[in-house]
Structure 1
Amino acid sequence: CLFDLHEMKYLWKTDKKDLAMLLATFIATLTLGIEEGIAIGVLLSLVMVIYNSTKPHSTELGRLGESKNFRNVNRYKEAKTEEEILVFRFDSELYFANVEHFRSSIDALVDQKGENLKLVVLDASAINSVDSTGVHALEELIKDLGEQGVELYFAGAIGPVRDKLKVAGITDGLSITNFYFDVASAIEAYKSEEKPDREFSPLQTNV
């Protein structure tokens, strides 16, 4: 059956974009034919994938109580933030199609923090790859934050991403102390009175 009412109800509850694509494909199939309808459905799916990748989810994170857990401040009202620290999570690969969204999202939060901001922690655990445009975006971010007297720490960056940053030379002006296993470790290190020597070592063996 080409038209499943049960599936339509399910999509209405879970994803209205998918429902719209289903209806468009159904109408195209009725009016143009099966092959044309399927082709249009595939095309719409590709367009949606590209669109979603250009504006992925991102958010400010806050600490839950005294724990080491950080969550979306818009979902967890009890999540606490600090004036001088911004924790930002970007839930996608970082590449040419979404770098503008990345910068505009983080810049808006930096502006909200104002002059009290001293540290930005980028939760990179969901960033599974970075292309050359993404590398340049991070270079510009480090430069712009530095001019404001703000440091940038990376938390949870996976090995391939760390290696890419190393090969691209983005880490030349940074140190091993800019990379941490998780957000809690980054903030703890920032607040620590004794910071390790800022001598850089190979990223592959870093975290």
Structure 2
Amino acid sequence: VKEAPILWRLSPYDFWTWIVTCLGVVLLSVDYGLIMGLAFSVFSIIVRTQSPTSSILGRITGTDLYKNVHAYDDIEEVAGLKIFRFEGSLYFACAENFRESLYRKTGVNPRRIVQQRRRLGEKYARVTATSDASTATVKRTFTRMSESEKAEAAKAVGLDWPRVPVQHVILDASTWGYIDYVGVRALSQAIQEYRDIGVAVYIANPKCGIRACLERSDFYEKNRYDIIYVSVHDAVLAAQFDQRAALRKSEQQLLSASSAAIKV
């Protein structure tokens, strides 16, 4: 009994397992008490595996180490990307929790952004439709535009196009102990939903068993092999390289457009 407060501070789940077992032994019998304790322990394990903790990682200054941004003082997030760690296996019982935690922690919910953009596209079509161009025609033309062109077109008529604050999301898979078919589908769906809004997803440091499961499934029928990296730092470097390349491309396009305007 004296150790109960220590057990509570250490693990509330273990504390309640002890309480249930103790009550079962006192009120019923030793056998029933042990059975009740075992059943409650299994139940608590199921609950914990269904709702693992998750966090956003940042880089410790001057190192290539990435830790929970809320656990260290001298740490900062990498600009232009989010590093997400899910502290558990990815299987049917927690697949939806994984996706919800990912969207919530990163602050980028692709489903919401897609809905906002769809509504804004419809509003743009209604605003710019004329007698020569129907709403449906304008909407089709708007759909074919690139994201930057859509943003400029929306801005021209006073609409605020939803922008995405990051270009990459890195999933730290080092804590994934197991992944099943439902988990693979949830992972693929999350990657596709991010891809739909222009965000690339990389997977860092998956265990051999995780890689084998991805190989055996249809994961690589929908995703490239080069989104897998051996460490979080490698994934960060690759993301930064992609961001610099995209910036150079954007600058070249802007320069070309300026040159064309000057010639005209």
Query: Normalising TM by the smaller chain, what interval?
Result: 0.7 to 0.9
Does residue 73 of structure 1 match 2:69? yes
Task: Give the Å deviation of 1:175.
Answer: 2.8
If the length of structure 2 is used for normalisation, what is the TM-score?
0.68
In the alignment, the residues of structure 1 paired with residue 167 and residue 108 of structure 2 have an alpha-carbon distance, to the nearest angstrom, of 13
Inter-partner Cα distance in structure 1 for 2:19 and 2:225: 52
Residue 20, structure 1, aligned to residue 16, structure 2: yes
* More displaced stretch, 169-178 vs 46-55: 169-178
How far apart are the structure 1 equivalents of 2:108 and 2:184?
Answer: 25
Would you identify which runs of 4 or more consecutive aligned residues in structure 1 move more than 6 Å?
Answer: none
2:94 to 98, 102, 120: 98
Residues 100-133 of structure 1, C-alpha deviations (whole Å, 9 max, x = no match): 1101100112335971211010000111211010
Q: Which residue of 2 aligns with 1:152?
A: 201
Sequence identity percentage: 26
Structure 1 unmatched runs, 5+: 196-207
Aligned partner (choices 202, 213, 218) of residue 164 of structure 1: 213
* Post-superposition CA distance 1:54-110 (Å, at most 9, x none): 001211100000211000112113321134201001111100111111011001123
Which string of whole-angstrom CA distances, capped at 9 and with x for unpartnered residues, describes residues 117-174 of structure 1?
A: 1101000011121101001101111110000100110100112211211221212333
The residue identity in structure 1 corresponding to 2:205 is G
Larger C-alpha radius of gyration, 1 or 2?
Answer: 2
* RMSD value, Cα: 1.9
For residue 204 of structure 1, what is the aligned residue in structure 2? none
Is 1:123 aligned to 2:119, yes or no? no
Higher helix share: 2
Higher RCO, 1 vs 2 (CA within 8 Å, ≥6 residues apart): 2
SS in 2 for 1:77: coil
SS of equivalent to 1:192: helix
- Unaligned residue ranges in structure 2 (runs of 5+): 110-162, 246-264
Instruction: Please give the TM-score of this superposition, normalised by the length of structure 1.
Output: 0.85
Kept after mapping to 2: 8 A contact 1:110/1:117: no
Q: Distance in 1 between matches of 2:108 and 2:73?
A: 18
